[in-house]
Chain A
């Protein structure tokens, strides 16, 4: 079956602009998580969505937001972009954990955001 897809794959923006990234999970997966990957910090958790509800949020400023639609697709938005927001943004999907052990997370290829 098709893997996690992310669009666009590459983005170049300037400071102060805003950006929206999209993630389509594997069919049947209802949990979507977002991570920011940078060379210095590695993978930092942004947020997690399940059944259109934000279930968890990482330690990022309010400029970072997200949502999930009824078909489990998710978007994240970054407003008022800063140079430090340049990173690879990864989306992961899985069967949602409600109890018991966590399911395998499947990652997308990422969106490379460059802020000039």
Chain B
């Protein structure tokens, strides 16, 4: 079955601390994985996708097929990073359906 698991509902860190938001997936085939972010009172928006292999707002995520993981990392958290983060998996070819994890709320304290 296709599934995305985000084990942490809440992650609290202080400004300047490293951050790692965990995401594990279950998918038979070559997965396409994404991180979406929802800032307070804003729309859900794409943060990054694994195929682009780029850093957005200092965040990176590496697909580890052996561990079926796609953890989101940032070396130094900023207060403006406080938001809800969702890991998502593309359901397959010829569809735009995304399977989302339950989300992790990141709180960055000053």
- Do A and B belong to a common assembly? yes
Residues from 9 to 49 in B contacting A, C-beta threshold 8 Å: 32, 43-46, 49
Output the residue of A35, A107, A108, A109 with the most chain B CB within 10 A. Answer: A107
Asked if A28 CB lies within 8 Å of chain B CBs, one says no
Asked if B91 CB lies within 8 Å of chain A CBs, one says yes
Are B96's CB and A90's CB within 8 A?
Answer: no
- Give B16 Cβ to nearest chain A Cβ, in Å: 29
CB contact under 8 A between A90 and B44, given known A42-B102, A56-B91, A102-B90: yes
Main secondary structure, interface of B, reads loop
Closest to A3 in B: B43
Asked if B70 CB lies within 8 Å of chain A CBs, one says no
Are A43's CB and B100's CB within 8 A?
Answer: yes
Instruction: Kindly state the separation between the CA atoms of A57 and B69 in the bound complex, as whole angstroms.
Output: 26
Across the interface, A102 reaches (CB within 8 A) one of B44, B96, B100, B103, namely B96
Instruction: Kindly state the separation between the CA atoms of A43 and B106 in the bound complex, as whole angstroms.
Output: 17
- Give B32 Cβ to nearest chain A Cβ, in Å: 6
Across the interface, A48 reaches (CB within 8 A) one of B51, B86, B97, B100, namely B97
Interface CB pairs A-B, < 8 A, 16: A3-B43, A33-B96, A33-B98, A42-B86, A42-B103, A43-B100, A43-B103, A44-B100, A45-B91, A45-B99, A48-B95, A55-B95, A55-B96, A101-B32, A107-B43, A110-B43
Instruction: Using A45-B97, A98-B94, A107-B45 as known contacts, list a sample of 19 further A-B pairs with CB atoms less than 8 Å apart, ordered by residue number in A.
Output: A33-B98, A42-B100, A42-B102, A42-B103, A43-B44, A43-B100, A45-B98, A45-B99, A48-B95, A50-B96, A55-B95, A55-B96, A56-B95, A58-B97, A90-B44, A97-B93, A97-B96, A101-B51, A102-B32
